[in-house]
Structure 1
Amino acid sequence: MTQPGQAAPQGLMAPGSTLGPFRFPAFRAIWIANLFSNIGSMIQSVGAAWLMTELTDSHRLIALVQASTTLPILLFGVVAGAIADNFDRRRVMLTAQAGMLIASALLAFVTYEGFVNPAVLLLLTLAVGIGTALNSPAWQASVRAQVGREDLPQAISLNTIAFNLARSVGPALGGLLISLWDISLAFTLNALSYILLIVVLLRWRPEVAPPVRGPMFRSIKAGIQFCLTSPALRKVLVRGAAIGFGLSAYQALLPAIVRDQLGGGELTFGLLLGMFGISSILSALFVRKAMRRFGTEMVIGLGTVSFIAAELLQGLSHHFAWALLAAALGGVGWVLALTTLNVAMQVRSPDAILGRCLAVYQAITFGGMAIGAWVWGAVADASNLSLSLVLGAVWLTVAQVLLRLFMPMPQRGEGVPID
């Protein structure tokens, strides 16, 4: 699939408009395939999280299901970024997708046969997380090869919408399927969902310059050094780590919240994640306009406040209606904060080391989530779920105030622009 010329743009698909990136057939095809893959991943995440609640009473182990998908980004993300900059990004994505397919298929098999236990579940979700860590920098860095420069921020927002559309449909569908059939079905559907994206990637032939390869260790060092010595990127990284650590209290403990606070089952869990996804989609439609009008600092602040409200509401209330509202607020906060940080990182990173810069950002942000998941799970085991959620909200509040005062987000023109 080659990158064709643009059709005559007008209306909603004009350059720079919300739907502008859909003018490019490559972006359309990858976006659709990625949507189905994300739906499969969400179905699997529901199955894995709920399966752990059936295998153990430990809040820490339940939280580690979430951590197992993000910890590999912390451990291997920077290496994956160097791979994305030194090798064909399309082939890197194909390798990662094939690995995740195999891991998901194996998880479906051991679950169906009754061989699964907490250790096996965490090991195989960790394997899927390693595939995600390898795939993510190459996938995000390849967006520039799919659209024009003026459409890059919109393409990032549309990819966020695809992820959150899957987050709204996948969990509810996953909860319904595993309540009617078997958890192994969720893992099987996820394995099948990788196939369409693999086919699309096999057909895609982007017109990009071949990567200039260098020694891997030197490449990794150069990427980390640039990110840590760039004042603009350093601000984005610190903010990502702080927010990721704080919001993980809600993300990682939601299965335990449904089981212990709400007395619900798989369908309740899926509905709450679905509400999270729906509010995320609606927020993603307006986040770019909000950034232009109010600036990144204000948008990130609004997102953080929204997540603070979600954690406080969920921590202090044990009713399903309030849980739905908390999920909606969490979805808004997730998109406003993390999409804005992602855009800030992309537009301030040089193309030659873009994969490494994005990998460092993801390692810091998702590493904060992984560490936070373990910490908040340990707090919940030592005390209770409510205290863990309230402390997560307190962390976000203190971090937002201090970072806005002493390490504000970079202003327009600060840092390295898109070449």
Structure 2
Amino acid sequence: MADGSEPRPAPVSPLAPFQFPAFRAIWIANLASNMGSMIQSVGAAWLMTELTQSHLLIALVNAGATIPILLIGVFAGAIADNYDRRRVMLWAQAGMLAASAALAAVTWFGTIGPLSLLFFTLAVGCGTAVNSPAWQASVRQQVGHAHLPQAIALNSIAFNLARSVGPALGGLLISLTGPAPAFALNTLSYLALIVVLLRWKPETEPPKRSPMLAAIATGLRFCAQSDPVRRVLMRGFSFGFGAAAFQALLPSLVRDQLRGGELDYGLCLGAFGLGSIICALWVGAARRRWGSEIVVSVATLAFAAALVPVALTDQVGAVLAAAFIAGMAWVGTLTSLNVAMQLRSPDAILGRCLSIYQAVTFGALALGAWVFGMIADLWTLPAAVLAGGGWLALSVPILHAVAPMPGRDEGRIAP
């Protein structure tokens, strides 16, 4: 087109990727798997509140799912680019199934402790770290480049649909039966995605393999040299670090400040997920109208504002409303960052670029969980949550000046 923008003969429906059978089947199976994962995460987080009084250990349950992304994420990205991505996902799903089954068994026999719970959480997190770059990089194989933003948004909806329903179901299940059946249910949830992946036979060229360290260096070099990508990574790190004040400390807040139980915790996560779904439905249109910079900045400020009532109130209703707003802000920010990263990464090293993005963003989430958990133990829970909100609020004007989001066509990789 004359103005240099990408051709858009007509608005693309947010549901357009469902016309592709592979995407549709994987989306449904992934929804089931995410539902099981959310039920297990609620069970693990609440079980830790029963095993220890330490806010730090409780926060590390959340961090345990993200620390592996920081430690092995870049290796996982190189694996996703060097090997068949479908097979990588299959091996990762099988590993998570085995770890979840072991966690269910140990919990059932009553031999679980704080450290062993963290170990199994880390084991599942390692599977997630290996699976995620291959899964995200395979989206192009499922729908093609033209429908990529809509496919990313729909995958976010699947995750957050599970996040809205799964925690409430998990809280109810745990209150009735204890955590072991919740862990067993998650074990079964991996089977649907494994079956779908076994049946999916994408037509792809064999990947060009390169030595692992050289492959990682190529991805790191590209991300370091690309100014738009560097700015996306800076935004991801800053948001992940501050958002950890809510994500990691919510179990402690429900137990100690709201005086609630498993169901209250599940409902808070459910409100977060419901907000995420609603935002995912229109965030693409918001980016097209106002641009990524405004969307990410407003969403970050909204998350910061939501942390104020979370820190200061003991009313469940107020926390549910704040969690809903935080969920909208979470998806508004991370979906925009993910789309910006995918559209500016060459296909040959896409897995490595996405793994670096995830290592930075979710590594910051794990670091934030440790920092704010320490603040909560040394000072108070409200102080830790408000510190996270303060970090997010201060980051917006600073990053707007030094690391603005890339413009629509800035650094964009042609299909």
**TM-score exceeds 0.5:** yes
Establish whether residue 25 from structure 1 lines up as the match of residue 25 from structure 2: no
The equivalent of 2:75 in structure 1 is 79
Gaps of 5+ in 1: 1-13
What is aligned with 1:383?
Answer: 379
Q: 2:308 aligns with which of 290, 307, 312?
A: 312
Indicate the residue corresponding to 2:286 in structure 1: 290
Residue 148 of structure 1, CA deviation: 2.5
Q: Following TM superposition, by how much is the alpha carbon of 1:102 offset from its aligned partner in structure 2, in angstroms?
A: 0.2
Q: What SS does the corresponding residue of 2:206 show, helix, strand or coil?
A: coil
Alignment partners' CA distance in 1, 2:133 and 2:300 = 25
Corresponding residue of 1:51: 47
Q: Tell me if 1:61 matches 2:57.
A: yes
| 1:418 Cα deviation from its structure 2 partner | 3.8
> Which of 149, 160, 164 in structure 2 is aligned with 1:164?
160
User: What does residue 320 of structure 2 align with?
Assistant: 324
> Of 88, 92, 103, which aligns to 1:96?
92
Q: CA deviation at 1:212?
A: 0.5
Letter in 1 for 2:333: A
Partner of 1:16: 12
Deviations 1:231-258 (A, max 9, x none): 0000000000000000000000000000
The one of 350, 355, 366 aligned to 1:354: 350
The aligned counterpart of 1:4 is none
Conserved in 2, the CA contact under 8 Å of 1:77 and 1:362? yes
**AA partner of residue 35 (structure 1):** L
How many residues are aligned here? 406
- Report the CA distance between 1:305 and its aligned residue: 1.3
Deviations, residues 55-85 of structure 1 (Å, cap 9, x unaligned):
0000000000000000000000000000000
Q: Which residue of 2 aligns with 1:367?
A: 363
Matched, 1:177 2:181: no
Contact 1:16 1:150 in 2 (8 A): no
**AA of the residue aligned to 1:256:** S
Say whether the 8 Å CA contact 1:307–1:333 is kept in structure 2.
Answer: yes
1: distance between equivalents of 2:270 and 2:110?
28
Give me the whole-angstrom Cα distance separating, in 2, the residues matched to 1:356 and 1:275.
Answer: 33
User: Does residue 395 of the first structure (1) align with residue 391 of the second (2)?
Assistant: yes
Q: In structure 2, what is the equivalent of residue 6 of structure 1?
A: none
Cα RMSD for the two superposed structures: 0.9
1:220 aligns with 2:231: no
Find the partner of 2:338 among 332, 335, 342: 342
- Cα distance, 1:146 vs. partner? 0.3
Aligned residue number for residue 38 of structure 1 = 34
Please name the residue that 2:262 is paired with.
266
TM-aligned CA deviation for residue 407 of structure 1: 1.4
The offset of 1:416, in angstroms, is 3.9
Q: Provide, for residues 13-36 of structure 1, a one-character-per-residue CA deviation record: whole Å limited to 9, x for no partner.
A: x98310000000000000000000
Equivalent residue number for residue 227 of structure 2:
231
Percent of aligned pairs with the same amino acid: 62
2:120 alignment counterpart: 124
**Cα contact 1:350–1:416 (8 A) shared by 2:** no
Question: Structure 2 CA distance, aligned partners of 1:16 and 1:374?
Answer: 42
Match among 399, 404, 407 for residue 408 of structure 1: 404
State the AA in 2 paired with 1:33: A
Specify which of 240, 247, 250 is matched with residue 246 of structure 2.
250
| Deviations, residues 166-194 of structure 1 (Å, cap 9, x unaligned) | 00010000000010112101100100000
SS at match of 2:249: helix
Letter in 1 for 2:131: N
Q: Quick check: 1:169–1:274 contact (8 Å CA) kept in 2?
A: yes
Paired residue type of 2:86: R
Counterpart position of 1:7: none
Q: Does 2:134 match 1:138? A: yes
Q: 1:241 aligns with which of 227, 237, 246?
A: 237
Deviations 1:283-329 (A, max 9, x none): 10001000100100011012101111111110121111111111111
User: Secondary structure at the residue paired with 1:90?
Assistant: helix
Cα distance in 1, alignment partners of residues 108 and 248 from structure 2: 25
Q: What's 1:5 paired with?
A: none
**C-alpha distance in 2 between matches for 1:329 and 1:196:** 32
Equivalent-residue separation in structure 2 for 1:67 and 1:192 (angstroms): 24
Moved more, 296-305 or 37-46: 296-305
Q: What is the aligned partner in structure 2 of residue 3 from structure 1? A: none
Q: What CA deviation, in whole Å up to 9, does each residue of 1:68-125 have, x standing for no partner? A: 0000000000000000000000000000000000000000000000010000000000
- Report the residue type matching 1:388 in the other structure: A
Aligned equivalents of 1:389 and 1:395: distance in 2?
10
Amino acid at match of 1:293: R
Q: Secondary structure at the match of 2:133?
A: helix
* Partner SS for 2:407: coil
Distance in structure 2 (CA, Å) of the matches to 1:406 and 1:234: 11
Residue 22 of structure 1 aligns to a residue whose secondary structure is: helix
Conserved 8 A contact 1:15-1:151: no
Task: Name segments (4+ residues, structure 1) moved above 2 Å.
Answer: none
SS of the aligned residue for 2:138 comes to: helix
Cα deviations by residue, 1:311-352 (Å, 9 ceiling, x for unpaired): 111012111111111111110110000000000000000001
Q: Is the 8 A contact 1:15 1:150 kept in 2?
A: no
Cα distance in 2, alignment partners of residues 148 and 201 from structure 1: 18
